[in-house]
Structure 1
Amino acid sequence: MAQDVLTFKKGVHIDEFKELSEDSNLLVLEVPKQVVIPLTQHIGAPSKCLVNKKDEVAVGQLIGQAVGNFSANIHSSVAGVVTDIIDIQTASGKNAQAVVIDTEGFDQNKEYILNEHVDLSKEEIVSKIKDAGIVGMGGAAFPTHIKYTPPKPIDTVIVNGAECEPYVTCDDYILKNKPEAIVKGLSLLVKAVDAKEGIIAIEDNKPKAYESIANYLKNYDAKVKLRVVKLATKYPQGDEKRIIDAVLHRHVPSGGLPMDVGVNVSNVSSVNAVYEAIYYDKPLYERVMTVTGHNINKPTNMLVKIGTAFEYAIDQAAGTKGEIGKIINGGPMMGIAQPTNDKPIEKATNCILVQTKEEAIPPVTEPCIRCARCVEVCPVNLMPLYIHKFALKEKLDMAESYRIMDCIECGSCSYICPSKRPLVEAIRFGKRQIRQAGK
């Protein structure tokens, strides 16, 4: 009997371009001569710098300590010497202090031994997650230890394997090649919050990933109910509120969080990091990510050290085919365009997308024709055309009355608009004005 394919209402179907990298072998990058490791790679307080110039550091050494609970530890991804501590703007747009480490002449080998007999309490699981500096690696960078000490009961943990953003395939690679890590990592997270069930949700454009997880689950002796489900391939299926709707038919209230409906959602790469932290005692200092685009000679998934420059990763994918039009941290829908190619890779950098000059040309904008297509596709049931108008005219009260703050900035409205109106850009502007006004 065929399994139901789950989804939410509305959304858009987008050209995926995942074929560029989805079948690539994993490229393990050589350690660069220098890394620049930001001390703010998460939502919350910046980490406290624990090193000084001329200090020697080892692979996995704690170099940035979480400040309070709403923060995250930062570890060195390399062995080397600290040559500077500088102020930078990160690829995610944060102003941050960063540790510069030169690696030449240092032994980079670091072996982590598998602990086959893991038997931890839920408090010990969360403690190890915090020590390892794990955050949401799908883009949000929310400290994972906070998510798994919720003030409300959680009955279900969902592993978000949708990866709905075009071009990005790193989570697909992990699902296909590391099913043990995902299933065991999910089991740990279920135990951490005393949940009754764990679900791995995968879009149906990833049949090999689904098969890999399903086959592993057949022979896995789970202590709680674990299952894998198929999601329809649709954008933004990977938004955590959309995935909760699709899988459990629960609706997170306006301004609410998944825990308000008894659910926690974690990204595939984050769950893999949890597995490595607990089964190998390995902190989060490297990640699998995608370097891709029609301007990349050899689009691929690669294992990179945190702090590696975008430029180095692009060079290791055989460089570009021609002049660069735009470099994006993330995918084309919700990613952030970069002013330079020397930004360091962060924990939440799941993709570097390199566009051609032609792809980067902004579309010609026409007046709104009131076709309401933006309303038809909005996954949050908003009216983007009106929010856009009020935001640009700085009529903030009207924008708020149309629930501007509920917008998830997925870009579905801008994508579908026949007039190519800058809907998301205007909404972001309006939200920023509201926050600055202290509302």
Structure 2
Amino acid sequence: MAEYQIRRCDRHLTGGIHPETHKQLSTAEPCVFVETPTRLLFPIHFSGGGPGEALVRVGDPVAKGTPIIRCQSGIVHVASRAGTVLEVTDHAMAHPSSERSACIVIEPDGLDRQDYLSPMNWPFDAETLRERAIEAGILGLGGAGFPSFKKWSNRTQTLIINAAECEPYLTADDTLIRIDTHSMIRGACLLSRTLDIQTIVIGIEDNKPEALEAIECALKESRSDCFFDIVLLDTKYPSGSARQLVWLTLGIEVPTGSRSVEAGVIVHNPGTLAALSRAIDGKPITDR
């Protein structure tokens, strides 16, 4: 059993708002995978990790997990389904700017061919974990898409799992914590052990009792020697913003123009840590 404590946050945001959340619209339904579409578009220059280059050509067969794009940052993106590369062509992005990007177009074949990485065995060092994150396409899955390995400093003292998810309608993190808590906890523990991080903080709004219960159950079943500090936050937007979350949970103010890592703090989304756990087992990011 991992050691943990649950405490009510004793700090409160000045300002902020209490919008209607509407989260029950999705949390009341089971999580399901969408059907495989007839075409998949992978933007080469609008992918997380910066501008990229195509690693495949028209006519190439790909499996689920085959590298297809390498970004300027080094991050590799993989095919999310097996199929064939139909074309590489300009296409409008699903973005308010309506900009266009060269895209790799894949026609899925419905087969379950996989091209995964070799599983890693503990112990491994920080550089080995960074390389795995690059190969597996590990990005911040909270929305920004920042390459996760760039946050991993050897001077880090604290890892914060940002489970606040304060935005209306959004329940991706809440749902993931409920159904795959162990992957999130394992990813956090392995990252912390690799970087010699002493404390893992989970910042979670108090409107997620099912997720909190799942976290407690997972920690009781865990064999980790990490310590988890679970901080219950008021349900208020924007408590899940990185700067606000660092202040609410730790009392540390991150100056404008600085990043939390400069204060010795890494902030990661639950989905990012779950994806890291799977990547250590060999599975690159193919879904969210």
- Structure-to-structure mapping, 1:98-113, within 5 angstroms: 98-104=103-109, 106-110=110-114
| 1:108 to partner: Cα distance | 2.6
Specify the alignment match of 2:8 in structure 1.
Answer: 4
Change (3 A) 1:118 1:27: same
Q: Is the 8 A contact 2:49 2:71 kept in 1?
A: no
Name 2:132's counterpart in structure 1: 128
For structure 2, the 5+ residue unaligned runs are none
**Alignment match of 2:18 (pick from 1, 13, 16):** 13
Q: Find 1:80's aligned residue among 74, 80, 83.
A: 83
Which deviates more, 7-16 or 179-188? 7-16
Match of 1:143, as an amino acid? P
Q: Distance in 2 between matches of 1:40 and 1:189?
A: 29
Which residue is equivalent to 1:174? 176
Shift in CA distance, 45/111, structure 1 to aligned 2, threshold 3 Å: closer
Q: Secondary structure, in 3 states, of the residue corresponding to 1:85?
A: strand
Inter-partner Cα distance in structure 1 for 2:50 and 2:6: 47
Q: Distance in 2 between matches of 1:206 and 1:40?
A: 36
Q: Which residue number in structure 2 is paired with residue 212 of structure 1?
A: 214
Confirm or deny: 8 A CA contact 1:8 1:243 kept in the other structure: no
Write the letter of the residue equivalent to 1:91.
A
**What SS is found at the alignment partner of 2:84?**
strand
1:87–1:116 CA distance, 2 compared to 1 (3 A): closer
SS in 2 for 1:171: helix
TM-score by length of 1: 0.60
The answer for the alignment partner of 2:253 in structure 1 is: 251
Evaluate the alpha carbon distance shift between residue 138 and residue 2 of structure 1 in structure 2; reply closer, same or farther with a 3 A threshold: closer
Q: Is the 8 A contact 2:162 2:268 kept in 1?
A: yes
Question: Do residues 267 (structure 1) and 269 (structure 2) align?
Answer: yes
8 Å CA contact 2:116, 2:284 repeated in 1 = no
Name the residue aligned to 2:286: 285
User: In the superposition, relative to structure 1, how do residues 15 and 114 fare at CA in structure 2: closer, same or farther (>3 Å)?
Assistant: farther
Which residue in 2 is equivalent to 1:144? 148
Equivalent residue for 1:369?
none
User: 1:40-94 deviations in whole A, cap 9, x for unaligned?
Assistant: 4545531210111111111100011233xx2421101111111111123422446
- Separation in structure 1 between the aligned mates of residue 26 and residue 181 of structure 2, nearest angstrom: 19
* Partner of residue 155, structure 1: 157
Please state how far the C-alpha of 1:194 moved relative to its aligned partner.
2.4
Secondary structure of the 1:131 match is: helix
For the pair 1:38 / 2:48, whether they are aligned, the reply is no
Percent of residue pairs bearing the same amino acid type: 31
Distance 1:54 1:155, change over 3 A: same
In structure 2, C-alpha distance between the alignment counterparts of 1:72 and 1:95, rounded to whole Å: 21
Unaligned runs of 5+ in 1: 288-439
- The CA RMSD over aligned residues, in Å, is 2.3
The equivalent of 2:93 in structure 1 is 90
Is the CA contact 1:87–1:98 (under 8 Å) kept in the aligned structure 2? yes
2:187 to 161, 185, 192: 185
Q: How many residues align?
A: 281
Which residue number corresponds to residue 194 of structure 1?
A: 196
How much does 1:143 deviate?
0.6
Alignment partner, residue 242 of structure 2: 240
What corresponds to 2:27 in structure 1? Answer: 22
Q: Distance in 1 between matches of 2:46 and 2:140?
A: 10
Change (3 A) 1:113 1:62: closer
Instruction: Compute the displacement of 1:156 (Å).
Output: 0.3
- Which of 30, 51, 58 is the aligned partner of 2:56? 51
User: What does the per-residue CA deviation read over 1:351-380, in whole Å, with 9 as the maximum and x for residues that have no partner?
Assistant: xxxxxxxxxxxxxxxxxxxxxxxxxxxxxx
The alpha-carbon deviation at position 218 of structure 1 amounts to: 2.4
Using the size of structure 2 for normalisation, the TM-score is 0.90
Equivalents in 1 of 2:227, 2:46: separation in Å?
A: 33
